[in-house]
Structure 1
Protein backbone atom coordinates (compact mmCIF):
# COMPACT_ATOMS: atom_id res chain seq x y z
CA UNK A 1 0.00 0.00 0.00
CA UNK A 2 1.30 3.46 -0.85
CA UNK A 3 2.07 6.15 1.71
CA UNK A 4 -0.91 8.19 0.48
CA UNK A 5 -3.29 5.30 1.11
CA UNK A 6 -1.93 4.79 4.62
CA UNK A 7 -2.42 8.50 5.24
CA UNK A 8 -6.04 8.24 4.10
CA UNK A 9 -6.66 5.38 6.53
CA UNK A 10 -5.31 7.47 9.40
CA UNK A 11 -7.58 10.31 8.32
CA UNK A 12 -10.54 7.92 8.38
CA UNK A 13 -9.70 6.79 11.94
CA UNK A 14 -9.33 10.39 13.10
CA UNK A 15 -12.72 11.40 11.66
CA UNK A 16 -14.44 8.33 13.11
CA UNK A 17 -12.95 9.00 16.54
CA UNK A 18 -13.84 12.70 16.53
CA UNK A 19 -17.29 12.18 15.03
CA UNK A 20 -16.77 15.35 13.01
CA UNK A 21 -14.76 16.50 10.00
CA UNK A 22 -14.17 19.87 11.66
CA UNK A 23 -12.85 18.39 14.93
CA UNK A 24 -10.66 15.88 13.10
CA UNK A 25 -9.31 18.64 10.86
CA UNK A 26 -8.34 20.73 13.88
CA UNK A 27 -6.54 17.75 15.41
CA UNK A 28 -4.67 16.87 12.22
CA UNK A 29 -3.87 20.44 11.21
CA UNK A 30 -5.71 20.16 7.89
CA UNK A 31 -8.83 21.76 6.48
CA UNK A 32 -12.19 20.02 6.71
CA UNK A 33 -12.49 20.16 2.91
CA UNK A 34 -9.14 18.39 2.54
CA UNK A 35 -10.32 15.61 4.86
CA UNK A 36 -13.59 15.31 2.96
CA UNK A 37 -11.66 14.98 -0.31
CA UNK A 38 -9.43 12.25 1.17
CA UNK A 39 -12.45 10.33 2.46
CA UNK A 40 -14.23 10.48 -0.88
CA UNK A 41 -11.11 9.14 -2.58
CA UNK A 42 -10.73 6.31 -0.05
CA UNK A 43 -14.39 5.29 -0.30
CA UNK A 44 -14.25 5.36 -4.10
CA UNK A 45 -11.16 3.12 -4.16
CA UNK A 46 -12.77 0.64 -1.75
CA UNK A 47 -16.19 0.83 -3.38
CA UNK A 48 -17.76 1.11 0.09
CA UNK A 49 -19.28 3.84 2.21
CA UNK A 50 -17.28 4.03 5.45
CA UNK A 51 -18.92 7.04 7.11
CA UNK A 52 -22.57 7.99 7.43
CA UNK A 53 -22.79 11.77 7.23
CA UNK A 54 -25.47 14.01 8.78
CA UNK A 55 -25.67 17.77 9.11
CA UNK A 56 -24.24 17.59 12.65
CA UNK A 57 -21.84 14.68 12.78
CA UNK A 58 -20.52 11.57 11.13
CA UNK A 59 -20.52 7.97 12.31
CA UNK A 60 -19.02 4.74 10.93
CA UNK A 61 -21.11 2.46 8.76
CA UNK A 62 -21.01 -1.31 9.29
CA UNK A 63 -18.06 -1.49 6.90
CA UNK A 64 -16.43 1.43 8.68
CA UNK A 65 -16.79 -0.25 12.08
CA UNK A 66 -15.19 -3.40 10.70
CA UNK A 67 -12.29 -1.41 9.29
CA UNK A 68 -11.80 0.47 12.57
CA UNK A 69 -11.62 -2.81 14.49
CA UNK A 70 -8.94 -4.06 12.11
CA UNK A 71 -6.90 -0.87 11.84
CA UNK A 72 -6.69 0.42 15.41
CA UNK A 73 -4.46 -2.38 16.79
CA UNK A 74 -2.19 -2.10 13.73
CA UNK A 75 -1.66 1.65 14.01
CA UNK A 76 -1.19 1.33 17.78
CA UNK A 77 1.57 -1.17 17.13
CA UNK A 78 3.14 1.13 14.54
CA UNK A 79 3.10 4.03 17.02
CA UNK A 80 4.66 1.86 19.71
CA UNK A 81 7.46 0.77 17.40
CA UNK A 82 8.11 4.36 16.33
CA UNK A 83 8.22 5.43 19.97
CA UNK A 84 10.62 2.59 20.71
CA UNK A 85 13.08 4.13 18.26
CA UNK A 86 13.62 6.72 20.98
CA UNK A 87 16.05 4.22 22.50
CA UNK A 88 18.48 5.34 19.82
CA UNK A 89 18.31 8.93 21.08
CA UNK A 90 20.50 10.36 23.78
CA UNK A 91 17.44 11.39 25.81
CA UNK A 92 13.85 10.01 25.95
CA UNK A 93 11.35 11.87 23.82
CA UNK A 94 7.71 11.71 22.81
CA UNK A 95 4.20 12.48 24.01
CA UNK A 96 2.49 10.59 26.85
CA UNK A 97 -1.28 10.68 27.45
CA UNK A 98 -2.42 9.91 31.00
CA UNK A 99 -6.02 9.54 32.18
CA UNK A 100 -6.50 10.59 35.81
CA UNK A 101 -8.45 12.79 38.21
CA UNK A 102 -7.59 16.23 39.52
CA UNK A 103 -6.98 15.03 43.07
CA UNK A 104 -4.55 12.39 41.76
CA UNK A 105 -2.65 15.11 39.94
CA UNK A 106 -2.57 17.22 43.09
CA UNK A 107 -1.39 14.42 45.37
CA UNK A 108 0.79 12.19 43.17
CA UNK A 109 1.86 14.14 40.10
CA UNK A 110 2.19 17.82 40.94
CA UNK A 111 4.91 17.42 43.63
CA UNK A 112 7.25 15.75 41.11
CA UNK A 113 6.10 17.25 37.83
CA UNK A 114 8.41 20.27 37.60
CA UNK A 115 11.51 18.17 38.22
CA UNK A 116 10.42 15.56 35.68
CA UNK A 117 9.79 18.10 32.92
CA UNK A 118 13.11 19.82 33.55
CA UNK A 119 14.91 16.48 33.47
CA UNK A 120 13.26 15.41 30.20
CA UNK A 121 12.73 18.48 28.00
CA UNK A 122 11.84 16.33 24.97
CA UNK A 123 8.90 14.61 26.69
CA UNK A 124 5.42 16.12 26.53
CA UNK A 125 2.80 14.86 29.00
CA UNK A 126 -0.91 15.31 28.39
CA UNK A 127 -3.09 14.74 31.47
CA UNK A 128 -6.77 14.13 30.80
CA UNK A 129 -8.88 14.73 33.92
CA UNK A 130 -11.55 12.05 33.80
CA UNK A 131 -13.80 10.74 36.56
CA UNK A 132 -15.64 8.46 34.14
CA UNK A 133 -13.12 5.59 34.34
CA UNK A 134 -12.40 5.61 30.61
CA UNK A 135 -10.87 2.50 29.08
CA UNK A 136 -7.20 3.40 28.58
CA UNK A 137 -6.85 0.90 25.74
CA UNK A 138 -9.82 1.89 23.59
CA UNK A 139 -9.28 5.59 24.31
CA UNK A 140 -5.60 5.20 23.39
CA UNK A 141 -4.09 6.51 26.60
CA UNK A 142 -0.61 5.42 27.52
CA UNK A 143 -1.75 4.81 31.10
CA UNK A 144 -4.28 5.78 33.72
CA UNK A 145 -4.31 6.34 37.47
CA UNK A 146 -6.79 4.63 39.81
CA UNK A 147 -7.04 3.28 43.31
CA UNK A 148 -5.23 -0.03 43.53
CA UNK A 149 -8.34 -2.00 44.41
CA UNK A 150 -10.14 -0.78 41.27
CA UNK A 151 -7.60 -1.95 38.69
CA UNK A 152 -8.22 -4.99 36.52
CA UNK A 153 -5.91 -7.96 37.09
CA UNK A 154 -4.82 -7.97 33.44
CA UNK A 155 -3.12 -4.60 33.92
CA UNK A 156 0.31 -3.75 35.28
CA UNK A 157 -0.09 -1.49 38.31
CA UNK A 158 2.67 0.72 39.74
CA UNK A 159 2.05 2.60 43.03
CA UNK A 160 2.36 6.37 42.72
CA UNK A 161 1.29 7.12 46.27
CA UNK A 162 1.08 5.55 49.74
CA UNK A 163 -1.87 3.76 51.31
CA UNK A 164 -4.74 6.17 51.67
CA UNK A 165 -8.07 6.61 53.37
CA UNK A 166 -11.04 8.87 52.75
CA UNK A 167 -12.26 10.95 55.68
CA UNK A 168 -15.27 13.09 56.48
CA UNK A 169 -14.46 16.78 56.93
CA UNK A 170 -16.39 19.95 57.63
CA UNK A 171 -15.62 23.57 58.39
CA UNK A 172 -15.54 24.73 62.05
CA UNK A 173 -18.49 27.04 61.40
CA UNK A 174 -20.62 24.29 59.86
CA UNK A 175 -19.86 21.81 62.64
CA UNK A 176 -20.49 24.41 65.33
CA UNK A 177 -23.88 25.17 63.82
CA UNK A 178 -24.89 21.54 63.20
CA UNK A 179 -22.94 19.54 65.78
CA UNK A 180 -20.38 16.76 65.43
CA UNK A 181 -21.66 13.45 64.04
CA UNK A 182 -20.83 10.60 66.40
CA UNK A 183 -21.45 7.74 63.96
CA UNK A 184 -21.68 7.49 60.15
CA UNK A 185 -25.33 6.57 60.50
CA UNK A 186 -26.06 10.16 61.55
CA UNK A 187 -24.77 11.57 58.26
CA UNK A 188 -28.23 11.37 56.71
CA UNK A 189 -29.14 14.35 58.92
CA UNK A 190 -26.31 16.51 57.55
CA UNK A 191 -25.70 18.39 54.31
CA UNK A 192 -23.40 16.00 52.44
CA UNK A 193 -21.49 17.28 49.43
CA UNK A 194 -21.53 14.37 47.01
CA UNK A 195 -19.69 13.25 43.90
CA UNK A 196 -21.06 11.53 40.81
CA UNK A 197 -18.29 10.19 38.60
CA UNK A 198 -20.35 9.68 35.44
CA UNK A 199 -23.37 11.68 34.21
CA UNK A 200 -25.47 8.51 34.19
CA UNK A 201 -23.81 6.93 37.25
CA UNK A 202 -24.82 6.71 40.88
CA UNK A 203 -23.88 9.09 43.66
CA UNK A 204 -20.68 7.75 45.26
CA UNK A 205 -21.52 6.13 48.60
CA UNK A 206 -19.33 6.94 51.62
CA UNK A 207 -17.54 3.84 52.89
CA UNK A 208 -16.89 2.95 56.53
CA UNK A 209 -15.95 -0.03 58.66
CA UNK A 210 -17.21 -1.27 62.03
CA UNK A 211 -15.78 -4.33 63.79
CA UNK A 212 -14.21 -5.56 60.56
CA UNK A 213 -17.40 -5.19 58.54
CA UNK A 214 -17.63 -2.65 55.72
CA UNK A 215 -20.77 -0.63 55.10
CA UNK A 216 -21.78 2.47 53.17
CA UNK A 217 -23.86 5.54 53.91
CA UNK A 218 -25.55 7.73 51.33
CA UNK A 219 -25.97 11.21 52.70
CA UNK A 220 -28.16 13.84 51.10
CA UNK A 221 -27.40 17.40 50.22
CA UNK A 222 -28.03 20.13 47.70
CA UNK A 223 -24.68 19.89 45.97
CA UNK A 224 -23.13 17.26 43.69
CA UNK A 225 -19.87 17.56 41.74
CA UNK A 226 -17.88 15.24 39.50
CA UNK A 227 -14.59 16.58 40.88
CA UNK A 228 -13.06 15.90 44.29
CA UNK A 229 -11.35 19.29 44.35
CA UNK A 230 -14.68 21.10 44.11
CA UNK A 231 -16.15 18.88 46.82
CA UNK A 232 -13.25 19.84 49.06
CA UNK A 233 -13.61 23.55 48.29
CA UNK A 234 -17.32 23.44 49.10
CA UNK A 235 -16.54 21.92 52.50
CA UNK A 236 -13.99 24.68 53.18
CA UNK A 237 -16.69 27.20 52.28
CA UNK A 238 -18.95 25.75 54.99
CA UNK A 239 -21.62 24.30 52.69
CA UNK A 240 -21.61 20.87 54.31
CA UNK A 241 -19.60 17.73 55.02
CA UNK A 242 -17.32 16.17 52.43
CA UNK A 243 -15.75 12.73 52.00
CA UNK A 244 -12.30 13.21 50.51
CA UNK A 245 -8.78 11.70 50.46
CA UNK A 246 -7.16 12.54 53.78
CA UNK A 247 -3.89 13.96 52.33
CA UNK A 248 -5.95 16.41 50.28
CA UNK A 249 -7.69 17.72 53.39
CA UNK A 250 -4.65 17.83 55.67
CA UNK A 251 -3.38 21.31 54.65
CA UNK A 252 -6.79 22.79 55.45
CA UNK A 253 -6.98 20.87 58.72
CA UNK A 254 -3.57 22.26 59.70
CA UNK A 255 -4.80 25.78 58.91
CA UNK A 256 -7.92 25.31 60.99
CA UNK A 257 -10.22 25.58 57.97
CA UNK A 258 -11.47 21.99 58.20
CA UNK A 259 -12.04 19.47 60.98
CA UNK A 260 -11.90 15.70 60.49
CA UNK A 261 -14.73 13.66 62.02
CA UNK A 262 -15.51 9.94 62.28
CA UNK A 263 -11.87 9.01 61.65
CA UNK A 264 -12.18 5.85 63.78
CA UNK A 265 -14.60 4.53 61.18
CA UNK A 266 -12.26 5.08 58.21
CA UNK A 267 -9.66 2.46 57.26
CA UNK A 268 -6.68 2.60 54.93
CA UNK A 269 -6.61 0.85 51.57
CA UNK A 270 -4.21 0.61 48.58
CA UNK A 271 -3.53 4.08 47.25
CA UNK A 272 -3.29 5.46 43.73
CA UNK A 273 -1.57 3.34 41.07
CA UNK A 274 -0.45 4.02 37.53
CA UNK A 275 -1.82 1.20 35.38
CA UNK A 276 -1.36 0.11 31.77
CA UNK A 277 -1.70 -3.02 29.58
CA UNK A 278 1.09 -5.54 30.13
CA UNK A 279 1.78 -5.76 26.40
CA UNK A 280 2.49 -2.06 25.95
CA UNK A 281 4.54 0.92 27.09
CA UNK A 282 8.13 -0.03 26.42
CA UNK A 283 9.18 3.39 25.15
CA UNK A 284 12.04 5.17 26.94
CA UNK A 285 9.76 8.14 27.60
CA UNK A 286 7.19 5.98 29.37
CA UNK A 287 9.86 4.16 31.36
CA UNK A 288 11.24 7.52 32.49
CA UNK A 289 7.76 8.60 33.57
CA UNK A 290 7.19 5.41 35.57
CA UNK A 291 10.57 5.68 37.28
CA UNK A 292 10.00 9.33 38.18
CA UNK A 293 6.52 8.95 39.65
CA UNK A 294 6.79 5.50 41.22
CA UNK A 295 6.10 5.77 44.95
CA UNK A 296 9.04 4.85 47.14
CA UNK A 297 8.39 3.78 50.73
CA UNK A 298 10.35 5.67 53.33
CA UNK A 299 12.11 2.46 54.34
CA UNK A 300 13.24 1.70 50.76
Structure 2
Protein backbone atom coordinates (compact mmCIF):
# COMPACT_ATOMS: atom_id res chain seq x y z
CA UNK A 1 0.00 0.00 0.00
CA UNK A 2 1.41 3.37 -1.06
CA UNK A 3 1.09 6.38 1.21
CA UNK A 4 -2.05 8.24 0.02
CA UNK A 5 -2.11 11.87 -1.03
CA UNK A 6 -3.78 14.09 1.60
CA UNK A 7 -5.64 16.02 -1.10
CA UNK A 8 -7.13 12.78 -2.42
CA UNK A 9 -8.24 11.88 1.11
CA UNK A 10 -9.92 15.26 1.53
CA UNK A 11 -11.67 14.92 -1.84
CA UNK A 12 -12.93 11.45 -0.88
CA UNK A 13 -14.57 12.92 2.23
CA UNK A 14 -16.01 15.81 0.20
CA UNK A 15 -17.55 13.47 -2.40
CA UNK A 16 -19.24 11.37 0.29
CA UNK A 17 -20.52 14.43 2.14
CA UNK A 18 -21.88 16.00 -1.06
CA UNK A 19 -23.43 12.71 -2.22
CA UNK A 20 -21.73 12.70 -5.61
CA UNK A 21 -18.92 13.94 -7.81
CA UNK A 22 -20.87 16.73 -9.51
CA UNK A 23 -22.04 18.36 -6.27
CA UNK A 24 -18.58 18.04 -4.72
CA UNK A 25 -16.96 19.47 -7.85
CA UNK A 26 -19.21 22.54 -7.71
CA UNK A 27 -18.24 23.18 -4.08
CA UNK A 28 -14.55 22.70 -4.81
CA UNK A 29 -14.51 24.65 -8.07
CA UNK A 30 -13.08 21.64 -9.92
CA UNK A 31 -14.30 19.29 -12.61
CA UNK A 32 -16.11 16.08 -11.72
CA UNK A 33 -13.62 14.11 -13.82
CA UNK A 34 -10.65 15.47 -11.86
CA UNK A 35 -12.32 14.44 -8.60
CA UNK A 36 -12.99 11.00 -10.04
CA UNK A 37 -9.31 10.69 -10.95
CA UNK A 38 -8.35 11.56 -7.37
CA UNK A 39 -10.64 8.86 -5.97
CA UNK A 40 -9.30 6.25 -8.39
CA UNK A 41 -5.75 7.17 -7.38
CA UNK A 42 -6.63 6.90 -3.68
CA UNK A 43 -8.28 3.51 -4.18
CA UNK A 44 -5.24 2.34 -6.10
CA UNK A 45 -2.88 3.55 -3.37
CA UNK A 46 -4.90 1.77 -0.68
CA UNK A 47 -5.72 -1.33 -2.70
CA UNK A 48 -9.38 -0.98 -1.70
CA UNK A 49 -12.59 0.15 -3.36
CA UNK A 50 -13.97 3.05 -1.33
CA UNK A 51 -17.04 4.09 -3.32
CA UNK A 52 -19.98 2.32 -4.93
CA UNK A 53 -20.74 4.20 -8.14
CA UNK A 54 -24.01 3.96 -10.09
CA UNK A 55 -25.62 6.26 -12.62
CA UNK A 56 -27.89 7.54 -9.83
CA UNK A 57 -25.74 7.72 -6.73
CA UNK A 58 -22.32 7.50 -5.14
CA UNK A 59 -22.13 5.81 -1.72
CA UNK A 60 -19.20 4.61 0.39
CA UNK A 61 -18.41 0.93 0.62
CA UNK A 62 -18.08 -0.71 4.03
CA UNK A 63 -14.34 -0.03 3.88
CA UNK A 64 -15.04 3.56 2.83
CA UNK A 65 -17.44 4.04 5.75
CA UNK A 66 -14.84 2.77 8.22
CA UNK A 67 -12.13 4.95 6.73
CA UNK A 68 -14.33 8.05 6.75
CA UNK A 69 -15.32 7.48 10.38
CA UNK A 70 -11.65 7.53 11.36
CA UNK A 71 -10.78 10.42 9.05
CA UNK A 72 -13.47 12.92 10.08
CA UNK A 73 -11.85 14.05 13.36
CA UNK A 74 -8.47 14.50 11.63
CA UNK A 75 -9.98 16.44 8.73
CA UNK A 76 -11.88 18.65 11.17
CA UNK A 77 -8.62 19.36 12.98
CA UNK A 78 -6.97 20.34 9.69
CA UNK A 79 -9.86 22.66 8.83
CA UNK A 80 -9.71 24.11 12.35
CA UNK A 81 -5.98 24.78 12.03
CA UNK A 82 -6.53 26.83 8.88
CA UNK A 83 -9.53 28.58 10.45
CA UNK A 84 -7.24 29.66 13.28
CA UNK A 85 -5.40 31.80 10.75
CA UNK A 86 -8.63 33.73 10.33
CA UNK A 87 -8.83 34.19 14.09
CA UNK A 88 -5.58 36.10 13.97
CA UNK A 89 -7.22 38.63 11.69
CA UNK A 90 -10.30 38.73 13.96
CA UNK A 91 -12.52 37.84 11.00
CA UNK A 92 -14.05 34.39 11.53
CA UNK A 93 -15.00 32.72 8.27
CA UNK A 94 -16.40 29.32 7.42
CA UNK A 95 -19.38 27.17 8.34
CA UNK A 96 -20.64 26.47 11.86
CA UNK A 97 -22.41 23.10 11.92
CA UNK A 98 -24.82 22.57 14.82
CA UNK A 99 -26.98 19.61 15.90
CA UNK A 100 -29.87 20.73 18.10
CA UNK A 101 -33.19 19.44 19.48
CA UNK A 102 -36.45 20.66 17.93
CA UNK A 103 -37.48 23.13 20.70
CA UNK A 104 -34.10 24.86 20.55
CA UNK A 105 -34.22 25.18 16.76
CA UNK A 106 -37.74 26.57 16.82
CA UNK A 107 -37.69 28.94 19.77
CA UNK A 108 -34.12 29.86 20.76
CA UNK A 109 -31.89 29.80 17.71
CA UNK A 110 -33.80 32.13 15.36
CA UNK A 111 -33.19 35.30 17.41
CA UNK A 112 -29.74 34.19 18.63
CA UNK A 113 -28.49 33.41 15.14
CA UNK A 114 -29.94 36.61 13.71
CA UNK A 115 -27.81 38.63 16.14
CA UNK A 116 -24.77 36.38 15.73
CA UNK A 117 -24.74 36.38 11.92
CA UNK A 118 -25.09 40.15 11.76
CA UNK A 119 -21.91 40.36 13.84
CA UNK A 120 -20.02 37.83 11.72
CA UNK A 121 -20.92 38.17 8.02
CA UNK A 122 -18.14 35.73 7.05
CA UNK A 123 -19.79 32.87 8.96
CA UNK A 124 -22.41 30.48 7.58
CA UNK A 125 -24.53 28.29 9.86
CA UNK A 126 -25.87 24.81 9.14
CA UNK A 127 -28.40 23.47 11.66
CA UNK A 128 -29.69 19.89 11.86
CA UNK A 129 -32.56 19.05 14.22
CA UNK A 130 -32.23 15.82 16.19
CA UNK A 131 -33.46 14.99 19.67
CA UNK A 132 -31.20 12.07 20.57
CA UNK A 133 -27.71 12.63 22.01
CA UNK A 134 -24.92 12.20 19.45
CA UNK A 135 -21.12 12.37 19.30
CA UNK A 136 -20.85 15.71 17.53
CA UNK A 137 -17.31 15.12 16.23
CA UNK A 138 -18.09 11.70 14.77
CA UNK A 139 -21.22 13.18 13.19
CA UNK A 140 -19.24 15.94 11.48
CA UNK A 141 -20.67 18.76 13.62
CA UNK A 142 -18.79 21.54 15.38
CA UNK A 143 -21.13 21.48 18.37
CA UNK A 144 -24.51 20.33 19.60
CA UNK A 145 -27.16 21.62 21.96
CA UNK A 146 -28.69 19.36 24.61
CA UNK A 147 -29.96 19.46 28.17
CA UNK A 148 -27.68 18.69 31.09
CA UNK A 149 -28.91 15.15 31.73
CA UNK A 150 -27.89 14.20 28.17
CA UNK A 151 -24.33 15.55 28.29
CA UNK A 152 -21.34 13.23 28.45
CA UNK A 153 -18.80 14.00 31.16
CA UNK A 154 -15.98 14.69 28.70
CA UNK A 155 -17.87 17.48 26.94
CA UNK A 156 -17.30 21.20 27.38
CA UNK A 157 -20.67 22.88 27.94
CA UNK A 158 -21.68 26.52 27.58
CA UNK A 159 -25.15 27.82 28.59
CA UNK A 160 -27.39 28.83 25.69
CA UNK A 161 -30.82 30.43 25.94
CA UNK A 162 -33.05 30.69 29.03
CA UNK A 163 -31.49 29.16 32.15
CA UNK A 164 -34.83 27.98 33.51
CA UNK A 165 -37.64 26.43 31.51
CA UNK A 166 -40.91 24.72 32.38
CA UNK A 167 -43.25 21.98 31.28
CA UNK A 168 -46.83 23.24 31.30
CA UNK A 169 -50.17 21.44 31.31
CA UNK A 170 -53.06 22.85 29.31
CA UNK A 171 -56.33 21.97 27.62
CA UNK A 172 -58.96 23.64 25.46
CA UNK A 173 -61.81 25.46 27.26
CA UNK A 174 -64.43 23.16 25.70
CA UNK A 175 -62.57 20.04 26.84
CA UNK A 176 -62.47 21.31 30.43
CA UNK A 177 -66.14 22.32 30.23
CA UNK A 178 -67.06 18.77 29.21
CA UNK A 179 -64.64 16.78 31.38
CA UNK A 180 -63.93 19.08 34.32
CA UNK A 181 -60.70 20.73 35.47
CA UNK A 182 -58.27 18.55 37.46
CA UNK A 183 -56.91 20.11 40.65
CA UNK A 184 -54.37 17.41 41.49
CA UNK A 185 -52.15 15.27 39.19
CA UNK A 186 -53.90 12.14 40.49
CA UNK A 187 -57.15 13.39 38.93
CA UNK A 188 -55.55 13.11 35.47
CA UNK A 189 -56.19 9.36 35.58
CA UNK A 190 -59.73 10.02 34.45
CA UNK A 191 -58.73 12.28 31.55
CA UNK A 192 -57.53 12.03 27.96
CA UNK A 193 -53.76 12.67 28.04
CA UNK A 194 -52.05 13.43 24.73
CA UNK A 195 -48.88 11.32 24.77
CA UNK A 196 -45.52 11.88 23.11
CA UNK A 197 -43.32 9.11 21.69
CA UNK A 198 -39.61 9.96 21.47
CA UNK A 199 -37.27 8.91 18.67
CA UNK A 200 -35.94 6.17 20.96
CA UNK A 201 -39.42 4.65 21.07
CA UNK A 202 -39.98 5.60 24.71
CA UNK A 203 -43.28 7.23 25.64
CA UNK A 204 -42.90 10.27 27.89
CA UNK A 205 -44.74 10.47 31.19
CA UNK A 206 -46.44 13.53 32.66
CA UNK A 207 -44.12 14.41 35.56
CA UNK A 208 -45.25 17.03 38.07
CA UNK A 209 -43.48 18.44 41.12
CA UNK A 210 -44.58 20.45 44.14
CA UNK A 211 -42.82 21.03 47.47
CA UNK A 212 -40.35 18.25 46.76
CA UNK A 213 -43.08 15.76 45.86
CA UNK A 214 -42.95 14.25 42.38
CA UNK A 215 -45.97 12.64 40.72
CA UNK A 216 -45.65 10.73 37.45
CA UNK A 217 -48.71 9.97 35.34
CA UNK A 218 -48.40 7.79 32.20
CA UNK A 219 -50.30 9.23 29.22
CA UNK A 220 -53.53 7.53 28.29
CA UNK A 221 -56.03 8.37 25.62
CA UNK A 222 -56.72 8.24 21.91
CA UNK A 223 -53.67 10.22 20.75
CA UNK A 224 -49.99 9.22 20.84
CA UNK A 225 -47.57 10.97 18.48
CA UNK A 226 -43.97 12.06 17.93
CA UNK A 227 -45.17 15.38 16.48
CA UNK A 228 -45.33 18.35 18.83
CA UNK A 229 -47.46 20.26 16.33
CA UNK A 230 -50.04 17.48 16.03
CA UNK A 231 -50.17 17.03 19.80
CA UNK A 232 -50.75 20.73 20.48
CA UNK A 233 -53.25 21.10 17.65
CA UNK A 234 -55.15 18.11 19.04
CA UNK A 235 -55.29 19.80 22.44
CA UNK A 236 -56.63 23.00 20.83
CA UNK A 237 -59.27 20.88 19.08
CA UNK A 238 -60.44 19.54 22.44
CA UNK A 239 -59.06 16.01 22.24
CA UNK A 240 -57.30 16.07 25.61
CA UNK A 241 -54.69 17.53 27.94
CA UNK A 242 -51.18 18.34 26.74
CA UNK A 243 -48.03 18.58 28.87
CA UNK A 244 -45.08 20.05 27.01
CA UNK A 245 -42.42 22.78 26.78
CA UNK A 246 -43.88 26.15 27.68
CA UNK A 247 -42.66 27.68 24.42
CA UNK A 248 -44.73 25.26 22.35
CA UNK A 249 -48.00 26.46 23.89
CA UNK A 250 -47.16 30.09 24.71
CA UNK A 251 -49.23 31.46 21.81
CA UNK A 252 -52.42 29.37 22.28
CA UNK A 253 -52.26 30.09 26.03
CA UNK A 254 -52.01 33.83 25.41
CA UNK A 255 -54.96 33.92 22.99
CA UNK A 256 -57.20 31.61 25.04
CA UNK A 257 -57.29 28.61 22.74
CA UNK A 258 -55.71 26.68 25.61
CA UNK A 259 -56.19 27.13 29.35
CA UNK A 260 -53.43 26.38 31.89
CA UNK A 261 -54.14 23.72 34.52
CA UNK A 262 -52.24 22.39 37.56
CA UNK A 263 -49.97 25.47 37.50
CA UNK A 264 -48.69 24.82 41.03
CA UNK A 265 -47.34 21.48 39.79
CA UNK A 266 -45.52 22.57 36.65
CA UNK A 267 -42.01 21.19 36.62
CA UNK A 268 -39.08 23.57 36.04
CA UNK A 269 -35.69 22.46 34.73
CA UNK A 270 -32.34 23.90 33.69
CA UNK A 271 -32.03 25.36 30.20
CA UNK A 272 -29.92 23.80 27.44
CA UNK A 273 -26.18 23.89 26.83
CA UNK A 274 -24.01 24.15 23.75
CA UNK A 275 -21.59 21.21 24.00
CA UNK A 276 -18.43 20.36 22.09
CA UNK A 277 -15.21 18.40 22.37
CA UNK A 278 -12.23 20.31 23.72
CA UNK A 279 -9.55 20.29 21.07
CA UNK A 280 -6.39 22.16 20.39
CA UNK A 281 -7.56 23.82 17.18
CA UNK A 282 -11.07 25.21 17.49
CA UNK A 283 -12.73 26.39 14.24
CA UNK A 284 -13.04 30.16 14.21
CA UNK A 285 -16.85 30.13 13.66
CA UNK A 286 -17.29 27.95 16.76
CA UNK A 287 -14.93 30.12 18.81
CA UNK A 288 -16.85 33.22 17.74
CA UNK A 289 -20.21 31.60 18.61
CA UNK A 290 -19.00 30.56 22.07
CA UNK A 291 -17.70 34.08 22.76
CA UNK A 292 -21.02 35.47 21.54
CA UNK A 293 -23.02 33.19 23.88
CA UNK A 294 -20.85 34.11 26.86
CA UNK A 295 -21.33 37.80 26.12
CA UNK A 296 -25.11 37.27 25.87
CA UNK A 297 -25.14 35.52 29.24
CA UNK A 298 -23.09 38.31 30.85
CA UNK A 299 -25.52 40.91 29.56
CA UNK A 300 -28.52 38.93 30.83
CA UNK A 301 -27.57 37.52 34.24
CA UNK A 302 -31.20 37.06 35.21
CA UNK A 303 -32.31 35.15 32.10
CA UNK A 304 -35.83 33.84 32.58
- Structure 2 length as normaliser, TM-score? 0.80
Map of 2:253 onto structure 1 = 253
Aligned length: 292
Deviation of the 1:96 alpha carbon: 0.6
Q: Is the 8 A contact 2:181 2:261 kept in 1?
A: yes
The answer to whether structure 1 residue 121 and structure 2 residue 124 are counterparts is no
Distance verdict in 2 for CA 1:249–1:78, change over 3 Å: same
1:58-82 superposed Cα distances (whole Å, 9 cap, x missing partner): 4433x44553344222211101112
Q: In the alignment, is residue 48 of structure 1 matched against residue 48 of structure 2?
A: yes
Partner deviation per Cα, 1:7-43 (whole Å, 9 max, x = no partner)? 322233345567xx54x64355378776555433322
> Is residue 25–residue 35 contact of structure 2 (8 Å, CA) maintained in 1?
no
Structure 2, unpaired ranges of 5+: none
d(CA) in 1 for partners of 2:191, 2:302: 38
**1:298 is matched with which residue: 283, 288, 302?**
302
Residue number in structure 1 paired with 2:192: 191
Residue 105 of structure 1 corresponds to 105
Deviation of 1:115 (Å): 2.5
Between 178-187 and 270-279, report the one with greater CA deviation. Answer: 178-187
Shift of 1:119: 2.0
CA distance in 2, matches of 1:213, 1:53: 60
Contact 1:116–1:292 (8 Å) recurs in 2: yes
Q: Distance in 2 between matches of 1:281 and 1:255?
A: 49
State the distance in 1 between where 2:40 and 2:250 align: 58
Matches within 5 A, 1:79-158: 79-158=79-158
The alpha-carbon deviation at position 246 of structure 1 amounts to 2.1
Contact 1:102–1:227 under 8 Å retained in 2: no
Give secondary structure in 2 for the equivalent of 1:97: strand
| Alpha-carbon contact 2:207-2:267 (below 8 Å) kept | no
- Any idea what SS the aligned residue of 1:165 has? strand
Structure 1 residues 15, 284: closer, same or farther in 2, change over 3 A? closer
Displacement of 1:6 in angstroms is 2.5
Residue number among 19, 26, 32 corresponding to 2:23 in the alignment: 26
Q: Which moved more, 1:161-170 or 1:212-221?
A: 212-221
Deviation at 1:57, TM superposition (A): 6.8
What value does the CA root-mean-square deviation take over the aligned residues?
Answer: 3.2
TM-score normalised over the length of structure 1: 0.81
Compared CA separation, residues 225 and 34, structure 1 to 2 (3 A) = farther
Deviations 1:192-222 (A, max 9, x none): 3333331x52122222235524443221344
How far apart, CA to CA, are the structure 2 residues paired with 1:182 and 1:279?
Answer: 51
Compared with structure 1, are the counterparts of its residues 128 and 64 closer, same or farther at alpha carbon in structure 2 (3 Å cutoff)?
closer
Matched with 1:182 is 183
SS state at 2:5 partner: helix
Matched-pair contact (CA < 8 Å) for 1:103–1:229: no
How many Å apart are 1:137 and its aligned residue?
1.9
Indicate conservation of the 8 Å contact 2:25/2:32, yes or no: no
Cα distance between partner residues in 2 of 1:6 and 1:192: 57
Compare 200-209 and 76-85 and name the one that shifted more.
200-209
> In structure 1, how many angstroms separate the alpha carbons of the residues matched to 2:13 and 2:284?
26
Q: Secondary structure at the match of 1:152?
A: coil
